[in-house]
């Protein structure tokens, strides 16, 4: 015969069934928690990797910055006192050498310029005296022979004075006997060579000559080379060559 099921028995079965269902069904919250944990772990690893990479990049950048800073510091580093002292001495020494050289050059060029000016002045002075002396040599008046000879000897020195003195007596008588008269005129003159105490000049002289044989004056052009020497601050003729 059929057993009668009561309401209480049904309720108990339902409860038991739900309890078994609770035991058999997997816990979704636990799965979700596991998934979220795995995601969090992955993100953490990625973050850690990114952090490590950034840290490495920062470290490299810092090293480069430090290297550049060290280079700049080395470049900007002040010169050691010993180097500065040596450099200062070198500059002072160079300046002194340059100054001394400049003074020496200035003195040399100044001396050279003075020498040139002295030689030029000596040449001009000697040339003026030589031109006057050439007129004395080529001008003769038989009425003033002694005066002419005295002027010639007064302006002479050395070899020429000795030679003229030796021939003066014979020449004097010849001029008197022939009643010779001459007048010299300087046409041109120039300096051949010059020092402060010795000058050689070249003078062109036109000489008008008359005597008993040729009473009418004739013009002779003479080329006179005279060596002038400074003796006791006077310019005197030491050598004369008339052609």
Q: How many domains does the chain have?
A: 1
CATH number, domain with residue 152: 3.10.450.540
- Give the three-class secondary structure for 192: strand
Tell me what pLDDT residue 62 has: 55
For residue 156, the 8-state DSSP code is B
Assign 191 a pLDDT band (cuts: 50, 70, 90). very high
Nearest Cα to Cα of residue 152 among 141, 165, 142, 143: 165
Tell me what pLDDT residue 81 has: 63
Tell me what pLDDT residue 79 has: 52
Of 35-44, 49-58, 131-140, 226-235, give the lowest mean pLDDT range: 35-44
pLDDT value at 167 more than 70: yes
Q: What percent of the chain has pLDDT over 90?
A: 40
CA distance 50 to 215: 137
Question: Is 152 a domain residue?
Answer: yes
> Scanning the structure block, which residue is given the tokens 């609770």?
22
> Scanning the structure block, which residue is given the tokens 């002072």?
92
Q: What is the residue-averaged pLDDT of the chain? A: 75
pLDDT tens for 206-230 read 999 998 888 888 999 999 999 999 9
- Give the three-class secondary structure for 197: coil
Question: Is 57 a domain residue?
Answer: no
Question: Is 168 a domain residue?
Answer: yes
Tell me what pLDDT residue 201 has: 98
pLDDT tens for 3-15 read 444 444 544 544 4
Question: Is 184 a domain residue?
Answer: yes
Question: Is 58 a domain residue?
Answer: no
Beta carbons of 151 and 237 less than 8 angstroms apart: no
Of 36-45, 94-103, 129-138, 202-211, give the lowest mean pLDDT range: 36-45
Question: Is 8 a domain residue?
Answer: no
Containing structural domain, residue 134? 113-242
CA distance 153 to 214: 28
Assign 57 a pLDDT band (cuts: 50, 70, 90). low
**Residues 6 or more apart from 223 whose CB is under 8 A from it?**
202, 203, 204, 242, 243
Angle value at C-alpha 163, between 232 and 137, nearest 5 degrees: 75
Question: Is 85 a domain residue?
Answer: no
CA distance 113 to 19: 135
Q: Decide: pTM greater than 0.75.
A: no
pLDDT tens for 66-107 read 544 444 444 444 555 667 777 777 777 788 788 788 888 778
pLDDT value at 21 more than 90: no
């Amino acid at each position: 015969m059929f057993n009668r099921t009561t309401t209480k028995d049904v309720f108990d079965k339902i409860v038991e069934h739900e309890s078994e269902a609770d035991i058999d069904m997997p816990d979704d919250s636990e799965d979700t928690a596991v998934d979220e944990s795995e995601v969090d772990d992955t993100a953490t690893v990625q973050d850690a990797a990114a952090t490590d990479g950034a840290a490495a990049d920062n470290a490299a950048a810092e090293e480069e910055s430090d290297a550049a800073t060290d280079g700049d510091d080395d470049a900007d580093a002040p010169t050691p006192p010993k180097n500065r002292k040596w450099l200062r001495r070198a500059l002072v020494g160079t300046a002194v050498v340059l100054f001394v050289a400049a003074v020496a050059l200035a003195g040399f060029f100044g001396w050279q310029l003075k020498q040139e000016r002295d030689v030029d002045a000596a040449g001009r002075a000697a040339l003026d005296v030589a031109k006057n002396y050439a007129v004395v040599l080529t001008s003769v008046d038989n009425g003033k022979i002694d005066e002419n000879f005295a002027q010639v000897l007064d302006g002479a020195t050395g070899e020429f004075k000795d030679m003229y003195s030796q021939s003066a007596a014979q020449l004097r008588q010849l001029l008197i006997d022939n009643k010779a008269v001459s007048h010299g005129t300087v046409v041109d003159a120039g300096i051949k060579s010059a020092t402060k105490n010795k000058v050689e000049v070249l003078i062109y002289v036109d000489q008008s000559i008359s005597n008993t044989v040729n009473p009418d004056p004739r013009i002779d052009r003479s080329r006179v080379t005279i060596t002038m020497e400074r003796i006791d601050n006077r310019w005197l003729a030491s050598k004369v060559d008339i052609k």
